Amino acid sequence: MPSNSIIRNIIGQISGIILVAILDSSSRSLILVISRCCVSGLGVLLLLFVAWRAYKIIKRWKKDMLKAIFFKRNGGLLLQQQMSSGDDGNVEKTKLFTSKELENATDHFNDNRILGQGGQGTVYKGMLTDGNIVAVKMSKIKDESEIEQFINEVVILSQINHRNVVKLHGFCLETEVPLLVYEFIPNGTLYDYIHDQNEYFPLTWEVRLRIATEIGFHSSAGTPIYHWDIKSTNRGVNEPGRARARARLVLAKVADFGTSRTHDVDQTHLTTKVQGTFGYLDPEYFQSSQFTEKSDVYSFGVVLVELLTGEKPIASFKVGETRSLATYFLSAMEENRLSEIIDPRVKIDGEEGGQIRRFGELAKRCLNLDGRKRPRMKQVGIELELIRTSNVAPVAAATEEVEYANSIEEVGGMGHIDHWH
C-alpha cells in the first residue's frame, strides 16, 4: 500500500494538471470573446463610417440639387440666355458668384453687416477674398413674377459702364433668393446727406448743383431706360474723404434698377402695375397705370426740389397738415415765394441767386402735371450742366467740359439712358 504522503502527492499533481487545463481553456475562451468583440466593434465602426459618408454624400447631393433648383427658379437659364445675346463686353465681365463666397464675404449675412433695407431687398456689406469691399443685395422675391424684375436689374446693369451708375460686379442664383454684388458706395445716399446734416460734408449750393448734374449725367450711359422709382435714397454719393469733400470731386451714383425697363426709341407708353414710391410717383402714372418716358422726369423733379428745399417728399409744412413736397413747391412757385422755401443751410450770394431761380424753373417744368409738357431727361441733364457752369470762370468751364466729354467716352458708344428705375 502506498503511503498517505504518496497518495497526497499524486492527488496534488492530478489537481494541478486539471487546474492548468481549466485555466488554459478559460484563456482560450477569453481570447476568443475578445477577438469576436474587436471584430464586431470594427464592423460597427465601419458601418458607422459608411453611414456617415453616405449621409455626407446624400447631403451634398441634396444641396447641389437644391442649388440647381434655385438656379433654375431664380431665372438662371433665362438670364444666361439674355446675357449671352448681349453684344456688350461688360456682360462677359459680370461674375457668377457661389453662395459660399458670398456667405464668407458677409459673415453668413450677419445683421451687423446690413447697410440698408427697402422694398427691393436687404443690402449687406461684404469683403471678397481679394480684399475688394462690395455691397451684396439680397433680393426680396415673394413670387415667380418678381423673378423677371431681378433678371431685368442684372441685364441692365451688366450692360452699363458709366461713372455715375453703380457698377455690378456679379450675382449669385444658387440661393433661395438671388443675390446681386455691387460696388460699395461708402458714404450713404443722397437722402442721408439732404436730411441728416453732416459737418464734414456740408451741402452747399455748389455741391447740391453738382450732385444734381452728376445724376443727370447718367442719362448718357446707354440704351434708353425707364428707372420707375427715382428717389434720393437710390442716389449714392461717393465722397472719398474730408480733404476731397469739395464740389468738383463729388460723384453721384445711380443705383437700384430693380424695376427698370429698357425701351425702344419708338415706344412711348408702357402699361403695368403701379410701382414706385409715394411722393416721387408721377400723378399721371398713378391714375392711369400708364408709364411714359416723362414719368421719370417727374420723379427726378422731386429730387431736385429736395436738393433745393431740404424737405422730404412727404412732409408736414404746417401743424396738422401733411402734403407732398411737389404740391408745396408748385404752390410756392406760383406765388413767387421761391426764396422763402430754400433750405436755410444754403447761403446765397448774388450769382448763385440766378442759378437757383433757373434751377427752380427747371424743377417746375419737370413737375408739370401734363407729362407732354415736361422736358426729356437728356434735356434736363444738359440744362443742369449749363446752369452749373454759368458762374464758372472760362478756363474752369472749359476744363469741366473736357471732363464731361471724357465721361461720355467712358460709356463706349452705348448711346444714352433717358430714364431710371
Active site residues: 229
Cell 453738382 locates to 210
Cα(403)–Cα(409) distance, rounded to whole angstroms? Answer: 10
In order of 290, 298, 302, 303, 420, the CA distances from 367 in angstroms are 17, 5, 7, 11, 16
| CA of residue 259 relative to chain centroid, distance | 13
- Please give the single-letter amino acid code of residue 92: E
Tell me the helices (H) and strands (E) count for the chain, helix number first: 14, 14
Q: Do residues 415 and 222 make contact, with C-beta atoms less than 8 angstroms apart? A: yes
Contacts with 369 (C-beta within 8 Å, 6 or more apart), sequence order? 283, 284
Q: Do residues 153 and 166 make contact, with C-beta atoms less than 8 angstroms apart? A: no
Q: Do residues 279 and 312 make contact, with C-beta atoms less than 8 angstroms apart? A: yes
Instruction: Name the DSSP class of 375.
Output: P
Cα(195)–Cα(310) distance, rounded to whole angstroms? Answer: 6
Residue 115 belongs to what H/E stretch? strand 114-118
95-96: strand order across its sheet: 95-96, 168-172, 179-183, 133-139, 121-127, 114-118
Q: What are phi and psi of 48, to 5 degrees?
A: -65, -40
For 121-145, b where at least 16 C-beta lie within 10 A, e where not — what string? Answer: bbbbbbebeeeeebbbbbbebeeee
Nearest Cα to Cα of residue 273 among 214, 229, 243: 229
Q: Do residues 241 and 260 make contact, with C-beta atoms less than 8 angstroms apart? A: no
